Amino acid sequence: MKTAAIYVRVSTADQHVETETQLLDLREFASKRGFEVVKEYEDTGISGSKARRPGLAALMADARRKRFDVVLVAAFDRVARNVRHFLEVLDELNHLGIEFVSLRENIDTGGPLGRAMVVIVGAIAQVEKQAIVVRVKAGMRRARLEGRQIGRAPLCVDREAILRDRERGLSLNQIAKAQGISKASVCRLLKELRDNVSKGVEKAVSGCARGKELIESRPAA
């Protein structure tokens, strides 16, 4: 009986249903193939574009210790969204003599055809991702041309009132509640206001110094 490791990943921490779905499908597949699942590895709330993930790192560390014969995943993009990183993982597993099985793509690297399909499908996935990025950027460019707001709208608050309230001794929480904004926004706005004041003072001092230099440099009458 071959021993198997299961790896699952979801991008956000609240996708518990998706995590359980992946696990149930992979456990059922392992049972049908007669694999003994020795360990399950999980990364929650981590994008597939990030190469450093605790669950994946633990999986690869145990792979190097030859603790299982097969790695089971629900889909290629659960391992990585970047073709280069994806193939690096597969290359190492292949070098260690560990098979890789993906349910969605119906790929098993136990044979040469499976390995070839992995490379082809991985390349297609990368092209698709790049196409999505291009479409998103084009949509954002069009939105700017049409004058639509992109991202978070600017805060509409009385900045001078915030500064006055802070000078009167109000706490950050009190100011945030009065203005209907977060404490972090109050901190950021206060910093911006103080930086602007500081720059204004520096500019005035610099102007005075320059005026003094001009006066002193004039020849005596």
Please give the positions annotated as active site.
11
76 CB-near residues (< 8 Å, 6+ apart): 86, 102, 104, 105, 107, 118, 121, 122, 125
Token digits of residue 204: 């005035």
**How do beta strands 107-108 and 3-10 pair?**
unpaired
Task: Compute CA 196 distance to the chain's CA centroid, rounded to the nearest angstrom.
Answer: 32
Q: Mind giving me the DSSP string for 125-159?
A: HHHHHHHHHHHHHHHHHHHHHTT---SSPPP---H
